[in-house]
Amino acid sequence: MGVAGHSPLDATPQNDLEELLLGKRASLNPLFNPKTVAVIDAPEQPGTVGYKVLSALLNSPIGDAVFPVDRNRSRVMAVQAFPKISAVPAAVDLAVIASPKEYLSEIIGECAEALVKAAIVLSDGVSGCGEEDSGLGHRISEQLKGSRLRVLGPGSLGVINPHTELNATPGLPMPLGGSVAFVSQSIALGGAILEWSLKEIVGFSAFVHVGSMLDVGWGDLIDYFGSDPRTQTILLHIVTMGNVRSFLSAAREVSLKKPIIVIKAGRSQATARAMVWQLDGGADDEVLDAAFRRVGVLRVDTINDLFFTADALSKQPRPKGPRLMVVSNASGPEVLAADSVVAMGGELAELSPEGRREFDSVLPVHVSQRAGGDVRDDGNPEAYVKAVEIAARDSNCDGLLLVTVPQAFSDPRKATELLLNMRDTAGKPVLACLLGGSTAAKEEIVTRACIPTLPSPHTAARVFSYMWRYSYNLRGIYETPMFRSDGPEQVLRQLATNIVDSARDGGRSTLTEVEAISLLAAYGISTVTTRLAGNEEEAVRIASEIGFPVELQIVCDGGAAAVAMDGMPLDLFDAENVRSAWKMIMRRLEGSTEAGHRFAMALQPKQRGQCYDLRIASKLDPQLGPVLLFGLGGTMSNVFRDHAVGLPPLNATLARRVMERTRIYRVLHGADGHAHVDLAELEGMLVRFSELMVEQPWIRELEINLSAGRNSLLARSTRIEVHGPEVRREQLPRPAIRPYPIQYVSSWVMKDGQAVTIRPIRAEDEPLMIKFHERLSDRSVYLRYFQGMALDQRTTHDQLTRICFIDYDREIALVAERRDPHTEERRIIALGNLTKMHRGNDGEIAAITSDDCQGRGLGSEMMRRLLRVARDENLERVIGTTLPENRQMCAMLKRLGFRISVNLDDNLVEGELLLRS
């Protein structure tokens, strides 16, 4: 039994619920598909922005529904004008505002009162991006509260919809219709791209210039184009990020369905200083790259990369590996192409022995041993395409680059037919580079075969590298991670919190060694036994008790932090070494600036066997919150900048991805395939470290130096800095990715006395969800999804990804988990979903219970928990929908206080519950 929402496989909501279910997505429809447009305060001086926009709209297919609004003139461009927006004799979908900025607040207020649905503000000079330092921007934001008016800009050039021939811009050229949505933040670049698209015959589903993003931002537009059936690829040119969390939340949801490709200025330190946000130490761009990877966004470096990669991803399957095979009908171009693959950091694929034998059997002429093949076809298209087919089937090949000179297409029609047939069976991306001679006929051939053509082998290799990076990143995000324990118990979390609070209450910004060790232990991070010595004799005694060899380093008295001194830590092998080291350090400290401070010596046992120095650290970014860093540690970390950045929280798969981006990982992994350290345990440590970062928000900086061996992984030194008592909680930056909501984890007892844990779902739950669906009856499935759905349809990885890999900012899915008292086997017996509507204050709930656990009160409890979560998430209204024949659920909705109505058109029972009056 279950309360059902709409099927997750049904992308088209019921018509009467469309605006509710799509929220902000539907709210942008009038921006791109208006039926009526008002242009406010457009001057009649030719050449002005307002004049150009009004002229373009009046001469468009929607021209008869364009209404000038001007408080001083009765006619504009020989068309009747109206003094106010409220005087327009039709409901206005879109208002284009060309007014001076001092009138903006008043005019937007009038638009909101007149129930205008969308507005484009051409006026510049108003602060956006969520900033509140502009009084005008703040007043406009206040005007928008409580209304459904969505505002693009200020400082926007407008929008273009080629499919409806809407051009609400100041004279920008109308591009061809296509499947690419291009969103730009640069005025000059936007116009140049439209001109370029006409020359290169690139079609758009929409063009948008965002302006300063006072209201409509990156996240809104990604959401909209993610649902737009005409858009297959989303391209973004970004200057400033604006609301980063909104961007990442939207991108995380959309990137699995459609590629999002970004070009962003500001990679260098010099340009970064002009950007809106920056991480201490100048690593802002590195952190932003990590954020893009975390949500499946592909970042490219040039405008050509942007469109070439979009074209390739729209026409070809994503590569399953990094190996690119080059097939050419001339040895010179083949070698150049192979060099380009290597230069781009790619892997050059070579034919397997089986493929080589097949190649030789059909092509008895000379075959290059360097790459895929040198096919001397002498104008024979059959021979060339046969070679391509062999390469495509080869197990060593993840993608093909076809480098050809004219003779391969001496019979263009035949070559086209063969390539079309090969396209359907390859299952791997195929790119082409056509060299020499007239290219028009050749390009028509490969275009008909949906094979992207690139201007040079270097460009082709670069595009394939981007395609593999995109595929690799998505795989890491949505690959089912290995299950690990549920993290620290609540009592341990509270212990860690108490340690941090005690330091802050005492006015300290640095934790002592004992506090740091206790905090790490609460999160399962083991530390090397460390003992402090206050004098020479005590140091000798402690070293003897620990057992030689030992390591010695200086710390402030109390163990607050290690003191920087060349040559530390020292490796000591006997008591005499300890005495000599103590005397040497004391002499150096006497002449140092720290002589007025008290110091102690920290002694640790020297790790035996081969060990590697590693470093795990975190800092706070003002917009992205906690940022994790992993890489080489020890003294060499200052010489070799070998580290990778990730955004918490991490699971095991994401932790491995961070590790793989460092050079030290290749050493740890072992060239012979035998790991030199326990990589699974290292993954687990990164996961626990990321949990610590997001669950202890008062920690400002945390750095651990690790000693990693084949059988040990220990923190040798730790530095933990916390925010002082002057910092308020609301000043702390939130994590860019919302962490696992542990506050919703609790136990409950069913009517039959069996205990269950009700908690938010995790990515690791995918295997349990498969077993859950295996135990559902056809009737339960029908009542939940309003249609019959086969088991294999419900349990595909892509389908379960949408359930298990969720953004907790957008949806909270609760599962009821029961453990077998004898085997401790975990089993999910119920699933409930709270989906937040994109308008922000409404939600939809749904629940389903395993057939063998129905009638025990679990379904009602799941619904009550979902309502409790909805209140905690500050929702104002929730809806629940079920079928009339599901009488038990209809009765449950009534008991929970829902107002029930029957939708006879759709044969549905719809419940509505107001959570706040």
In 438-594 the beta strands, taken as DSSP E runs, fall at 453-454, 531-533, 550-556, 570-572
Q: Which two tokens stand for residue 820?
A: 């077998």
pLDDT value of position 480? 82
The more confident residue out of 29 and 131 is: 29
- Does residue 781 have a pLDDT over 70? yes
More confident residue, 553 or 477: 477
pLDDT of 340: 81
Check residues 332 and 786 and name the one with the higher pLDDT: 786
DSSP H helices in 479-564: 490-505, 513-522, 536-546
Mean pLDDT of 302-321: 91
CB 620 within 8 A of CB 696: no
Tell me how far apart the alpha carbons of residues 604 and 717 are, in angstroms, rounded to a whole number: 10
pLDDT of 856 reads: 94
Tokens of 492: 């341990």
Exposed, middle or buried: residue 205 (CB in 10 Å: 0-12, 13-18, 19+)? buried
Higher pLDDT, 360 or 148: 148
Q: How far apart are CA 43 and CA 32, in angstroms?
A: 24
Which residue is listed with tokens 């007043």? 139
Q: Which tokens hold the place of 672?
A: 């012979």
Q: pLDDT tens, 362-382?
A: 765 444 444 455 554 455 667
Question: What is d(CA 175, CA 163) in angstroms, rounded to the nearest whole number?
Answer: 10
| Chain centre to alpha carbon of residue 468 | 17
> Which range has the worst mean pLDDT, 12-26, 446-460, 819-833, 875-889?
12-26
pLDDT above 60 for 15? no
Residue 14, pLDDT > 50, answer: no
pTM: 0.86
- Cβ contact 198:215 at 8 Å: no
Predicted local distance difference test score (pLDDT) of residue 445:
64
642: number of Cβ within 10 Å: 18
Q: Widest CA span of the chain, in angstroms? A: 101
- Residue 437: left (phi > 0), alpha (psi -120 to 50), or beta? left
Q: Are 377 and 410 in contact (CB under 8 A)?
A: no
Measured in residues, the chain has a length of 917
* Whole-Å CA distances, 401 to 372, 396, 452: 9, 14, 10
- Which ranges constitute the DSSP H helices of 209-283? 218-227, 244-254, 269-272
Whether pLDDT at 40 is above 90: yes
Q: What does the pLDDT read at residue 209?
A: 96
pLDDT digits (tens, 9 = 90+) for 439-456: 566 566 666 667 888 888
Please tell me the distance from the alpha carbon of residue 896 to that of residue 31, in angstroms, as a whole number. Answer: 39
Least confident of 345-349, 485-489, 685-689: 485-489
Integer Cα distance of 327 and 325 in angstroms: 7
pLDDT digits (tens, 9 = 90+) for 788-837: 889 999 999 988 988 999 999 999 999 999 998 888 899 999 999 999 87
Cα–Cα distance measured from residue 513 to residue 504, given in angstroms and rounded to the nearest whole number? 16
For residue 508, what pLDDT is reported? 92
Model pLDDT, residue 561: 47
115 φ, ψ to 5°? 65, 30
- 746: Cα separation from own chain's centroid: 29
What's the pLDDT tens digit per position in 685-701?
Answer: 999 999 999 999 999 99
The pLDDT confidence band at residue 145, using thresholds 50, 70 and 90, is confident
Pairing of the two strands 347-348 and 373-374: unpaired
Amino acid type, 334: E
Query: What tens digit of pLDDT does each residue of 221-277 get?
Result: 999 999 999 999 999 999 888 888 889 999 999 998 999 999 987 665 544 444 433
Q: Beta strands 118-121 and 94-97: pairing type?
A: parallel
Residue 862 has pLDDT above 80, yes or no: yes
